[in-house]
């Protein structure tokens, strides 16, 4: 019986993913739909956020800070941050009005996982933010592979010479230990690690 009750209290993975996607949508792409305005760092008051999420999605049981913390704790990726009673998405924004991230000296090498079909354009134009505010880079190859696999079973992994780019004045922004951001990145700082393994 104890086991049963314990299971009932735990949210299933599908609900966690569902809520997490709605949170990403609100905090990265469309806060206005929720009547929310993000500050320049992407933060919004947590209570306002919870009220807005519950108003729009009618979550049962109601979404609470505890649930959000549970989702954040259980996720492989650190997508959100709660600080001083506020919440933000750490990366991924597409809203107009650029979100500021802390500028930081990057590790010497970063990675970018992408679809093989994008390579000709990337070699020509470099990495561009496309639909988002920034280009997203990964701290390690495994993460880059996972990112690329969203679009290609055998993704291309690009090695980014972050040391050289940084020396040349390109600014790097820190999102979390796995995700770094840049405004864009010329192809001369990129080389292919593997295209079709
Ligand atoms: C590609 C997920 C053609 C770029 C992930 C990428 C990440 C170009 C796509 C985060 C190009 C943009 C972001 C060019 C770049 N020509 N294609 N010149 N420059 N591209 O989704 O990095 O699970 O905006 O290679 O894990 O894939 O949502 O960026 O394939 O951390 O938390 O254009 O989103 O995190 O795609 O992914 P995206 P991304 P979450």
Q: Tell me: the pLDDT tens digits for 134-159?
A: 999 999 999 999 999 999 999 999 99
The minimum-distance atom of ligand 1 relative to the CA of 113 is 25
Task: Tell me if 114 CB under 6 Å of ligand 1.
Answer: yes
Burial class (CB in 10 A: 0-12, 13-18, 19+), 102: exposed
The interaxial angle of helices 13-24 and 46-57, nearest 10 deg, is: 110
Query: Model's pTM, two decimal places?
Result: 0.93
Summarize pLDDT for 5-57 with one digit per residue, the tens.
344 456 788 899 999 999 999 999 999 999 999 999 999 999 999 999 999 99
Question: Which ligand 1 atom is the nearest neighbour of the CA of 128?
Answer: 19
Verify whether ligand 1 is closer than 6 Å to residue 164 (CB atom).
no
Q: What is the chain's mean pLDDT, rounded?
A: 93
The pLDDT of residue 197 is 46
Residue 3 CA to ligand 1 centre (angstroms) = 41
Residue 190 has pLDDT above 50, yes or no: yes
pLDDT band at 97 (very low <50, low <70, confident <90, very high): confident
Residue labelled with tokens 């500028």: 103
Q: Pick from 92, 94, 184 the residue to mutate for probing ligand 1's pocket: most ligand atoms within 8 Å of its CB.
A: 92
| DSSP character at residue 109 | E
Checking if the pLDDT of 117 tops 70, the result is yes
The atom of ligand 1 lying closest to the CA of 115 is: 30
Cβ–ligand 1 contact at 25 (below 6 Å):
no
Tell whether ligand 1 has an atom less than 6 A from the beta carbon of residue 122: yes
Residue 5 has what pLDDT? 38
Would you call 114 helix, strand, or coil by DSSP? strand
Closest approach atom of ligand 1 to CA 143:
26
Expressed in angstroms and rounded, the spacing between residue 138 Cα and the centre of ligand 1 is 11
Residue 196 has pLDDT above 70, yes or no: no
């Amino acid at each position: 019986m104890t086991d049963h009750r314990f299971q009932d209290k735990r949210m299933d993975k599908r609900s966690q993913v569902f809520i997490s996607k709605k949170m990403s949508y609100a905090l990265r792409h469309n806060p206005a739909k929720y009547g929310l305005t993000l500050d320049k760092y992407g933060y919004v008051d947590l209570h306002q956020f919870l009220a807005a999420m519950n108003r729009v999605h009618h979550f049962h049981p109601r979404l609470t800070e505890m649930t959000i913390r549970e989702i954040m704790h259980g996720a492989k990726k650190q997508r959100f941050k709660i600080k001083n009673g506020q919440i933000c998405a750490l990366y991924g924004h597409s809203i107009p009005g650029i979100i500021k991230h802390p500028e930081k000296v990057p590790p010497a090498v970063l990675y970018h996982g992408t679809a093989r079909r994008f390579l000709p354009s990337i070699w020509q134009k470099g990495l561009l933010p496309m639909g988002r505010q920034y280009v997203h880079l990964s701290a390690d190859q495994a993460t880059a592979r996972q990112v690329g696999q969203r679009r290609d079973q055998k993704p291309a992994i690009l090695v980014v010479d972050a040391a050289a780019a940084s020396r040349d004045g390109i600014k790097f922004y820190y999102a979390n230990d796995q995700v770094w951001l840049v405004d864009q990145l010329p192809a001369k700082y990129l080389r292919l690690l593997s295209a079709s393994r």
